Structure 1
Amino acid sequence: MTVAVVQAAAPLFDTPTALARAEGFIREAAGRGARVVVLPEAYLGGYPKGLDFGITVGSRTPEGRDLFRRYHAAAVEVPGPEVGTLAAVTRELGCHAVVGAVERSGGTLYCVALFFGPDGYLGLHRKLMPTAGERYLWGQGDGSTLPVVDTGTARLGAAICWENYMPLLRTAMYAKGVDLWCAPTVDDREAWQSTMRHVALEGRCFVLSACQYLRRDALPADLRPVQGDAPDTVLIGGGSVIVSPLGDVLAGPLRDGEGILTAELDLDDLARARFDFDPVGHYARPDVFTLHVDESPRPTVTGG
């Protein structure tokens, strides 16, 4: 199976452009033979790197509230027209795609991974724990959106950015039999590479990590990111990578610009890797350790 990860900037507050670029990247990757394509975290809706939304402890500003209004307007609804467009693309191409997005649900935004395939839109995963300042922008997902998608030849799952540091989430996903671990992110640190190799080796799965590459000149001119206002200031530096089930880097990490990484995976490597380690099978100790996962939806209001 050939797979691809896309490293690209997500236009902030310009969802039509982001959607057009996402479609173009999926088509280009599929044209290179990719049957699974992963796009970065918050690609539809954007990741507002370096913006503070007027937040200080105990106070908000009118300007910050209006900035959130713009961000809220740029998010996508699920289902919605943007989801419908990408669903039509993967139906046409006969491929699978995992696309990072910001979902708008009423007054709340969620960071999500959208799953698409030859049958169209397949479902989403909502990020369980937004990181640090993300918590004033995004709500928390619940356990009802932890899908694993069977492509017929391999099983896809997703953990978004720092969810990859949550050992219990990883264990829950390993138990679902994930073969292709998709990691949409904006973490461009060198240490992220160690995490991706660790997840691959721990989960005995292929890891496909897609990171944004974002410069100041991709943001609207009226914004003032803390990193600086020079047009060529790099806000998110990439580092997209594809890793084997034994922790070997198959492609990347990609730095210093946008691009598409591809790798041809030998899916028999999954069984070869699991020969001596299966974290939820023969290398587990259920008599000592057990994990309970609540996958029920948690709506605020129930009943009629």
Structure 2
Amino acid sequence: MVKRVLAALQVGSEKTTKETLDKILSYEQELKQANVDLVVIPEATLGGYPKGSTFGSHLGYRLPSGREEFLTYFKQSITVPGPETQLLETFSAKINATIAIGVIENGGGSTMYCSIVYIDPKRGYVGKHRKLMPTASERLVWGQGDGSTIPVIESAVGRIGGAICWENYMPLLRQCYYSKGIDVWVAPTVDMREIWRCSMRTIAYEGRNFLVSAVQFQPAVANEEDTPTGWEMGANLINGGSVIIDPMGEIVAGPLIGKEGVLTAEIETDDVIRARFDLDPAGHYFRGDVFKLTVDETSRDVEFVNKKAE
């Protein structure tokens, strides 16, 4: 019987990536005192989620103001690995916990990706996942990830991996992770709705894995000029809702709503095996004789670099 502590650090992005990183680092003592083994930090925390922004775009044309907004946003993105991940490596070692954090990644050119970055307390940066399917107008500012960044990471809490916001609704992506033997599913997001939490319970129950969904919290804007189109005054822009769920689909911590903070749950890792007694999506409940899943894990980045070299 092995006991571990899972955590969601529910925070929102500040005006700059540096300010956001400083805020994350300020939680060192609280996370250490909670003896956490895994900390999940929301989607696009470093770099920001531009909720409500249009980037000056309309069907058929883009305004110069939108290009300036894109430039400002791009300058808050980070390289992976890079200076910010180095600071997170030190932070991970200090709290002795694996970190899964949502970032806006500079892909090496002018394309940004919404990514999860994994940091191990002993090994440092160990991998990343780029969002495969940005939703709706997210595609205006983020590129699509490829099959080369669907890692499952060995950690103190077991094998971890996961998906960002609505790509969790891609059934074949979920099966890909199940087939890799995932024990803890991480789901950084900005989706604060109750239906999201219902979906997370389904994924935990379907995969018979623990699940940590960390949601940003962004307070209400100060005045009408700062209000994004379509949002009412008096309501928080992103109201949180982080949860931790066990392999039987039950919420064991949360939801944390309406404030920033740390959400924790002590788990017993053997519960994954107990839950898979009657449903193992990568074992006795997977009909490999009937269904075949093919995943192209080729990196488009490598192809791009080779073409440039030619």
**Shorter-normalised TM range:** over 0.9
Q: What's the CA shift string for 1:268-303, capped at 9, x where partnerless? A: 111100000011210111121110011111233525
Paired residues of 1:50 and 1:235 also in contact (CA < 8 A)? no
Matches of 2:90 and 2:260 in 1, distance apart?
25
Instruction: Quickly say closer, same or farther: Cα 1:2–1:153, change in 2 above 3 A.
Output: closer
SS at match of 2:290: coil
TM-superposed CA distance for 1:7, in Å, is 1.3
Q: What's the CA shift string for 1:50-109, capped at 9, x where partnerless? A: 111111111110111111111000111112111110011112332101010000121000
Q: 1:37 aligns with which of 25, 39, 44?
A: 39
Partner of 1:109: 112
Paired residues of 1:216 and 1:229 also in contact (CA < 8 A)? no
Matches of 1:284 and 1:26 in 2, distance apart?
42
Matches of 1:243 and 1:62 in 2, distance apart?
45
Q: 1:3 aligns with which of 3, 6, 10?
A: 6
Instruction: Quickly say closer, same or farther: Cα 1:217–1:30, change in 2 above 3 A.
Output: farther
The percentage of aligned residue pairs carrying the same residue is 47
TM-superposed CA distance for 1:242, in Å, is 0.3
Q: Does 1:270 align with 2:289?
A: no
SS at match of 1:181: strand
Matches of 1:258 and 1:267 in 2, distance apart?
27
Q: Does 1:167 align with 2:171?
A: yes
Paired residues of 2:37 and 2:156 also in contact (CA < 8 A)? no
Matches of 1:290 and 1:30 in 2, distance apart?
44
Give unmatched runs, 5+ long, in structure 2.
Answer: none
Paired residues of 2:215 and 2:242 also in contact (CA < 8 A)? yes
Matches of 1:172 and 1:91 in 2, distance apart?
30
SS at match of 2:27: helix
Instruction: Quickly say closer, same or farther: Cα 1:153–1:45, change in 2 above 3 A.
Output: closer
Matches of 1:218 and 1:196 in 2, distance apart?
32
Paired residues of 1:26 and 1:37 also in contact (CA < 8 A)? no
Q: 1:142 aligns with which of 133, 146, 156?
A: 146
Partner of 1:184: 188
Paired residues of 2:243 and 2:255 also in contact (CA < 8 A)? yes
Partner of 2:155: 151
Q: 1:256 aligns with which of 230, 236, 258?
A: 258
TM-superposed CA distance for 1:249, in Å, is 0.6
TM-superposed CA distance for 1:222, in Å, is 6.8
Instruction: Quickly say closer, same or farther: Cα 1:153–1:209, change in 2 above 3 A.
Output: closer
CA root-mean-square deviation:
1.7
Matches of 1:77 and 1:23 in 2, distance apart?
19
Partner of 1:245: 247
Instruction: Quickly say closer, same or farther: Cα 1:153–1:242, change in 2 above 3 A.
Output: closer
Counting only pairs closer than 5 Å after superposition, residues 116-131 of structure 1 correspond to structure 2 as 116-118=119-121, 119-131=123-135
TM-superposed CA distance for 1:243, in Å, is 0.3
Instruction: Quickly say closer, same or farther: Cα 1:135–1:202, change in 2 above 3 A.
Output: same
TM-superposed CA distance for 1:233, in Å, is 3.4
- Paired AA for residue 202 in structure 2: H
TM-superposed CA distance for 1:9, in Å, is 1.4
Matches of 1:185 and 1:225 in 2, distance apart?
19
Counting matched residue pairs gives 301
Question: More deviation in 144-153 or 97-106?
Answer: 144-153
Partner of 2:65: 63
Paired residues of 1:99 and 1:113 also in contact (CA < 8 A)? yes
Matches of 1:104 and 1:301 in 2, distance apart?
15
SS at match of 1:97: strand
Instruction: Quickly say closer, same or farther: Cα 1:27–1:129, change in 2 above 3 A.
Output: farther
- Paired AA for residue 286 in structure 1: G
Q: 2:199 aligns with which of 175, 195, 201?
A: 195
TM-superposed CA distance for 1:44, in Å, is 0.1
Give unmatched runs, 5+ long, in structure 1.
Answer: none
Matches of 2:50 and 2:32 in 1, distance apart?
29
- Paired AA for residue 25 in structure 1: Y
Partner of 1:23: 25
TM-superposed CA distance for 1:26, in Å, is 5.1
Paired residues of 1:41 and 1:161 also in contact (CA < 8 A)? yes
SS at match of 2:75: helix
Instruction: Quickly say closer, same or farther: Cα 1:108–1:193, change in 2 above 3 A.
Output: same
- Paired AA for residue 285 in structure 1: R
Instruction: Quickly say closer, same or farther: Cα 1:90–1:213, change in 2 above 3 A.
Output: same
Normalised TM-score (structure 1)? 0.94
Partner of 1:94: 96
Paired residues of 1:7 and 1:258 also in contact (CA < 8 A)? yes
